[in-house]
Structure 1
């Protein structure tokens, strides 16, 4: 991947509907070249731009990170965990825990039930849970949505469903599909974005990031999280940061280009005065990374 492609993908992660002119200005190129590169990335499937609905809108108030320790091959356990409705991220990892799972659900009771179900699986030795107190940075999980006074109807749901498949679909195309004018469609999409009900961004096909080292880190702090939040916000490869309740104060996911970069990032985190402990684990095989939500969930949330 060349520098222009990398810059465009980085920009599209933050604003998946940025126009070709806006993208060209941000990367210092011309519109025609940018349009050609973006269209090639999308047509090849290397990059997808899609909308994600904030879990709070769907009534999913409990977000958690599960670390699973197994006593033998993890293949069968991975298949069984992947069949659970609540999972949005599953990865094989190095270290004392062999599987990391992210789940989203409505209640603590549901979380307890999922953990009990996983613990009953053959060869599962331990399940350790971290509750997300606040998600600080994520590809698709931004600030809390502003839902006061917001009313969504079937047209909004239909629009969101289309954007989950193609976040760069044109207003005219979406409007025709859902039975409203282009201007009405534009107003509705902007309202959903401004209220943070949805976020639209780019994701890369994992096979095209195979050269990256993707690692997770768990941090215990001796002070508040301001210092490390500021540090992590300046690293391009950071895709996820959350303050947590459990054995760590904060967890993060970071992609780097090399072992040298990994060592540099880890050393710099450990050198922060507010950090008392840093554990890391490599994500060796990302099994599931789900961004879309079903129409049933959207309907339930709207009603």
Structure 2
């Protein structure tokens, strides 16, 4: 189903705030509240839009994150499906380019990350892997930016049973009503609202539209890796200021940083890549096109436990 510009505006607004009121969304697109609500309902019911809560990895004690690009021998999909079955992977895609498969790993620490990487390398059909272990999230549609360290605010947040119940429910339905959330949390609707706002304010939770590889529209999604001549800081700030750059993480490994681009056309993707190449200190840029999401964290989210 083809989306028009108003639909695209709604998706972008919901990506920023998946619990935005109907009135706020109506003001965003210049339509009546009832029309706006009907539009969003159509996006959810007919187009497969999902509004979900993303829990910061640090709140789940997943303190080590990284990106793996995979070269394969033979068909890519069986490899991607086996990678998706690993508990360490949170996101797996098939791609067009030198790397047939990409994956993101999230583990408790570096030792667990290494064990997960060994399992990736042991999957039949995996020919070679290139790894970037994240040290800093500069931009991500689901998590607040900042260093991946034990001092992050999400890691200092003390979660109790009610918090975990709320997070589990919101991972499935980011727009669940406070009355519905009160039922699972055991709190009053007022106390539930205060808890949800606290989780959002602390960066533990972000509620938004799941859009990384959405089939909703004509948006093209590409990945890229940059190698720099010098410190990432400064370059990363310029890079993440580009609207089409959807995410960017700095790390240690085969390149200095990895990110993604979302744009309305192949020409816009190319123009964004050209802007990145023109940034100071960028010495090399490699890119690939994401074709299919084989595993998306929110599709396969397991209930949280205390």
TM-score normalised to structure 1 length:
0.90
**Equivalences for 1:131-280 in 2 at 5 Å?**
131-143=133-145, 146-147=153-154, 150-204=157-211, 206-209=214-217, 211-280=218-287
Q: Summarize the Cα distance change of 1:106–1:30 in structure 2 as closer, same or farther, 3 Å threshold.
A: same
Please give the alpha-carbon distance, in whole angstroms, between the structure 1 residues aligned to 2:250 and 2:159.
Answer: 30
Q: Is the 8 A contact 1:143 1:196 kept in 2?
A: no
Question: Which runs of 5 or more residues in structure 2 are unaligned?
Answer: 147-151
Q: Is the 8 A contact 2:61 2:155 kept in 1?
A: no
Which residue does the alignment assign to 1:101? 103
Please give the alpha-carbon distance, in whole angstroms, between the structure 2 residues aligned to 1:258 and 1:42.
Answer: 23
Q: Is the 8 A contact 2:94 2:290 kept in 1?
A: yes
C-alpha displacement of 1:149 = 6.5
Q: Is the 8 A contact 1:53 1:293 kept in 2?
A: no
Which residue does the alignment assign to 1:89? 91
Please give the alpha-carbon distance, in whole angstroms, between the structure 2 residues aligned to 1:72 and 1:149.
Answer: 45
Q: Summarize the Cα distance change of 1:72–1:201 in structure 2 as closer, same or farther, 3 Å threshold.
A: same
C-alpha displacement of 1:229 = 3.2
- What secondary structure is seen at the aligned counterpart in 2 of 1:57? helix
Q: Summarize the Cα distance change of 1:37–1:75 in structure 2 as closer, same or farther, 3 Å threshold.
A: closer
Q: Summarize the Cα distance change of 1:82–1:176 in structure 2 as closer, same or farther, 3 Å threshold.
A: closer
Q: Is 2:98 the counterpart of 1:113?
A: no
* Of 133-142 and 58-67, the range deviating more from structure 2: 133-142
* Of 121-130 and 136-145, the range deviating more from structure 2: 136-145
Q: Summarize the Cα distance change of 1:44–1:85 in structure 2 as closer, same or farther, 3 Å threshold.
A: same
C-alpha displacement of 1:27 = 3.0
Q: Summarize the Cα distance change of 1:276–1:162 in structure 2 as closer, same or farther, 3 Å threshold.
A: same
C-alpha displacement of 1:23 = 1.7
TM-score normalised to structure 2 length:
0.89
Which residue does the alignment assign to 2:15? 13
Please give the alpha-carbon distance, in whole angstroms, between the structure 1 residues aligned to 2:52 and 2:105.
Answer: 20
Instruction: Determine which of 31, 54, 73 is the counterpart of 1:29.
Output: 31
- What secondary structure is seen at the aligned counterpart in 2 of 1:47? coil
Question: Which runs of 5 or more residues in structure 1 are unaligned?
Answer: none
Q: Is the 8 A contact 1:8 1:27 kept in 2?
A: yes
Q: Is the 8 A contact 2:244 2:272 kept in 1?
A: no
